[in-house]
Amino acid sequence: MGGDEALVEARGLRKSYGAVEAVRGIDVTVRRGEAFGFLGPNGAGKSSTMRMIAAVSPPSGGTLRVLGMDPTDDGPAIRSRLGVCPQEDTLDSELTVRENLLVYGRFFGLSRPEVARRADELLAFVQLSDRAGARVEQLSGGLKRRLTVARSLINEPEMLMLDEPTTGLDPQARHLLWDRLFRLKQQGTTLLLTTHYMDEAEQLCDRLVVIDEGVIVAEGSPAQLIRDHSSREVCELRFGADDHQGVAERIQHLGERLEVLPDRLLVYAADGEAVAQAVHEGGLTPRSTLVRRSTLEDVFLHLTGRSLAE
Amino acid sequence: MAAPAVRPPLGRFAAQHLVERNYLVYRRDWVVFVTGFLEPLLYLLSIGLGIQQLVDDFVLPDGTRISYTEFVAPAMLAASAMNGSLFDATFGVFFKLKYEKVYDAVLATPLRPVDVAVGELVWSLLRAAIYAAAFVAFMALLGLAESWWALLGPLAAVVIGYAFAGAGMALTTWMRSWQDFDFITLAVLPMFLFSATFFPLDRYPDAAQWLVQLTPLYHGVVLCRGLTTGAIGLEMLVAVGYLAVMGTIGLAVACRRLGALLLR
């Protein structure tokens, strides 16, 4: 099996719920071993796409092949080789932490000794061994998410699908989860994730698509997307809120591009410090000035005219 | 739909794993499980033995003479099979479907909606059979089940449970909130009281007799009463047919509806 074997191939993929079109014709190819991300705001169609790939939602149009099979006909066979970590925790609250893994493993047809062995390994992997006998409702959000990740790995999936894996987690919990996902990636597990956090996409994804209102607006590696759709640096300026438009006109020429946000101006330029200096020399005194590297947030803002976080 | 290129990896008995899951839950909450034995016993002791003192014996069509308790006990067997299986298939399924999202997680595995429906059904029937076995044993102890046919009581409970669990699960897929379950109570309570449970069919007004004979619990009572009194008749075969058809239609509808709700 070559490194460029496609695990997911979507062409013109569509999904409608009644009159609402959630996914409006997307082309995606995910190759074995890569970490692939869908970046976009809430409601962009990321989760709908994930559900179709996970063979739990029939496509409304286009073609879709997952692991070389058709999800409509071969759902069970596809699902037996996928790991799914949904956005909302679907842990079984009537079972203990360890029982959640045991029962789930049995759904994949694993023998009892095998599933017991894997459950203990996975509890260690997500650092939950000491909570094995706890009831699920006693766990914090971060621990629940870790258990969900462990559960999704019980069948040793070829591709792990994570829908907004760190939404709602505190920074420490996020970093621990990122670390575990990074290890999986190094072991050769293909990762497919959705996120509306640009730092998450930058940390984890080899390649990603930016998705907005059901269509793909850009595709590439994080670095490549920033290169193609933004400048190297950004100068963030905050003035008194009432005169942003007037100020914007005066400093427009200082950068390659300028964005006016409700609370600040963003000037895109190769050299952010030079912009900051030129602003001061022009007689303007912003309340605060911040020079930083461009991120995927800037890419998204440029491509859609909207912020990811909203 | 084209024929699947790949066989479902779990084969035909994937539903057993959902039964295992339920067993694991109830093994811990065994108190809840045990209370299932009590309901028919309490009815039998209060209504059966209590009222027996006020009522004369019955003479069955074949000439057998039975006490009022012997008459009511099989009806309690049928009613508890109905209530027990309905509880799991309606409240239980609704809770897992709408609140726990258990089935969303289950369907991310090789299991299919039909496995979910069959798994829940099998589980509720296992419970019905266990309760029925205990109840029949209790009846035998009190001398209320003189016929060897009574040994088939648990099997009758499974047939009755199949009908009500299948239909109940199908209806549950349309429930929007807990309030909607009042409709089920509304159907079950009159059935419990008026399915030839507490007095024989020929004591009903003529016009009501055919109505009583249309209800599924009536057929469940016919089945159980035939077995525990040993008065075996053709009407029992009709009862089995009625209940089997009702359960099968319910199960088929439940499968389709669960698929439509979960695989959107």
Q: Are residues A129 and A245 in the same domain?
A: no
DSSP letter, residue B91: I
For residue A48, the one-letter residue type is: S
Residues A216 and A235 in one domain: no
pLDDT for res B3 = 38
pLDDT of residue A21: 94
Q: How many domains does chain A have?
A: 2
Do the beta carbons of residue A216 and residue A209 sit within 8 Å? yes
Do A152 and A244 sit in the same domain of this protein?
A: no
Average pLDDT of the residues in A280-302: 89
What phi and psi values does residue A87 have, to the nearest 5 degrees? -65, -50
User: How do residues A70-86 score in pLDDT, each as one tens digit?
Assistant: 999 999 999 999 999 99
- B8 contacts A107? CB cut-off 8 A: no
The verdict on residue A152 lying in a domain is: yes
User: Based on the domain organization, do A75 and A182 belong to the same domain?
Assistant: yes
pLDDT in tens, A88-105: 889 999 999 999 999 999
In this predicted structure, what is the pLDDT of residue A263?
83
Kindly report the number of other CB atoms within 10 A of residue B28's CB atom: 14
Work out the minimum CA distance from B78 to partner chain A, whole angstroms.
30
A247: domain CATH number is 3.30.70.980
Residue B5 is predicted with a pLDDT of 40
Whether B21 sits inside 8 A of A95 (CB atoms) is yes
* Residue-level pLDDT at B264: 87
Which residues are registered as beta bridge partners of A66? A8, A69
Residue A120 lies in a domain: yes
- Tell me if A26 sits within 8 A of A10, measured CB to CB: yes
Residue A169 three-state SS: coil
Q: Does any domain span residue A61?
A: yes
Give Cα A242 to chain centroid, integer Å: 35
For B22, residues 6+ apart whose C-beta sits below 8 A from its C-beta are: B119, B120, B123
Contact B106 A109 (CB under 8 A): no
For tokens 């709908």, name the residue: A48
The answer on A249 and A119 residing in a single domain is: no
For residues B17 and B10, what is the distance between their CA atoms, to the nearest angstrom?
10
Q: Does any CB of chain A come closer than 8 Å to the CB of residue B106?
A: yes
* Helix and strand totals (H; E) in chain A: 11, 13
Q: What tokens appear for A294 in the block? A: 């461009």
Whether residues A167 and A196 share a domain: the answer is: yes
Inter-chain contact B110–A77, Cβ cutoff 8 Å? yes
ipTM of the complex model? 0.85
- Measured distance CA(A47)–CA(B179) in Å, rounded: 31
Looking at the fold, whether A205 and A263 belong to one and the same domain comes out as no
What mean pLDDT is predicted for residues A12-29?
A: 95
Out of A51, A56, A76, name the one closest to residue B9 (CB): A76
**C-alpha of B245 from chain center:** 14
Which residues of chain A neighbour B99 with C-beta distances below 8 Å?
none
Q: Is residue A301 a part of any domain in this protein?
A: no
Instruction: Please state, in angstroms and rounded to a whole number, the distance separating the CA atoms of residues B145 and B151.
Output: 9
Measured between CA atoms, the residue of chain A closest to residue B15 is: A107
CA angle B132, B133, B136 (to 5 degrees): 80
Same domain flag for A105 and A145: yes
| Burial of A16 per CB tally in 10 Å (0-12, 13-18, 19+) | middle
Tell whether the torsion through CA atoms of A168, A174, A177 and A183 is positive or negative.
positive
Distance from CA of A95 to the nearest CA of B (A): 6
Classify residue A1 by burial, with Cβ atoms within 10 Å: 0-12, 13-18, 19+.
exposed
Verify that A200 and A241 share a domain, yes or no: no
What distance in Å separates residue B73's CA from the closest CA in chain A? Answer: 35
Q: How many Cα neighbours within 13 Å face the side chain of B5?
A: 10
- SS3 annotation, B199-233: CCHHHCCHHHHHHHHHCHHHHHHHHHHHHHHCCCC
pLDDT for position A47: 92
The pLDDT score that the predictor gives to residue A309 is: 59
Domain that holds residue A100: 6-220
Helix (H, G, I), strand (E, B) or coil at A159: strand
Strand partners, A235: A267, A291
Backbone angles phi, psi at A162, to 5 degrees: -125, 120
User: Does the pLDDT at position A115 exceed 90?
Assistant: yes
Beta bridge partners of A234: A268, A292
Q: Could you give the angle at the alpha carbon of B88 between the alpha carbons of B82 and B93, nearest 5°?
A: 135
Q: What angle do CA B158, B159, B161 make, to 5 degrees?
A: 60
For chain B of 264 residues, list the mean pLDDT of each consecutive stretch of 10: 44 83 88 82 84 83 83 93 91 93 94 94 92 92 89 96 97 94 92 90 89 95 94 94 98 96 92
Structure confidence by residue, pLDDT tens digits, A143-178: 999 999 999 999 999 999 999 998 888 888 889 889
Q: For residues B160 and B78, is the Cβ–Cβ distance under 8 A?
A: yes
Task: Find the CB nearest B8 among A17, A77, A92.
Answer: A77
CA A107 – CA A118 distance, rounded (Å): 14
pLDDT over 80 (residue A2): no
Cβ–Cβ pairs < 8 A, chains A and B: 95
Contact B109 A108 (CB under 8 A): yes
Q: Judge if A19 and A65 occupy the same domain.
A: yes
Kindly identify which residue of chain B lies nearest to residue A111, measuring between CA atoms. B17
Residue A299 located in a structural domain? no
B residues 220-249 lying closer than 8 A (beta carbon) to A: none
Coil, helix or strand at residue A9: strand
Q: What is the CATH number of the domain that holds A151?
A: 3.40.50.300
Is A150 in CB contact (< 8 Å) with chain B?
no
Tell whether B111 is within 8 A of chain A (Cβ). Answer: yes
Distance separating alpha carbons of residues B134 and A191, to the nearest angstrom: 52
Q: What is the mean pLDDT of chain A?
A: 91
Provide the shortest C-alpha distance from residue A59 to chain B (in Å). 9
Calculate Rg over the CA atoms of chain A. 22
Same domain, A164 and A284: no
The per-residue pLDDT for B22 is 92
Last residue in a domain, options A176, A200, A220? A220
The dihedral sign for the CA sequence A298, A299, A302, A306: negative
Placement of tokens 């067993």 in the chain = B23
> Which two structure tokens, joined as six digits, stand for B196?
């030839």
The Cα A259–Cα A256 span in angstroms is 11
- Name which residue leads in pLDDT, A2 or A156: A156
Q: Is residue A143 part of a domain?
A: yes
The two three-digit tokens of residue A120, written as one number: 């203990």
Task: Return the H-helix or E-strand segment holding A31.
Answer: strand A20-31
Distance, CA of A225 to chain centre: 15
Any domain includes A298: no
- Residue A307: inside a domain, yes or no? no
- A210: burial class by Cβ within 10 Å (0-12, 13-18, 19+)? buried
Do A75 and A109 reside in the same domain of the chain? yes
Q: Region A106-123: what's the mean pLDDT? A: 95
Task: Tell me whether residues A79 and B109 touch, CB distance under 8 A.
Answer: yes
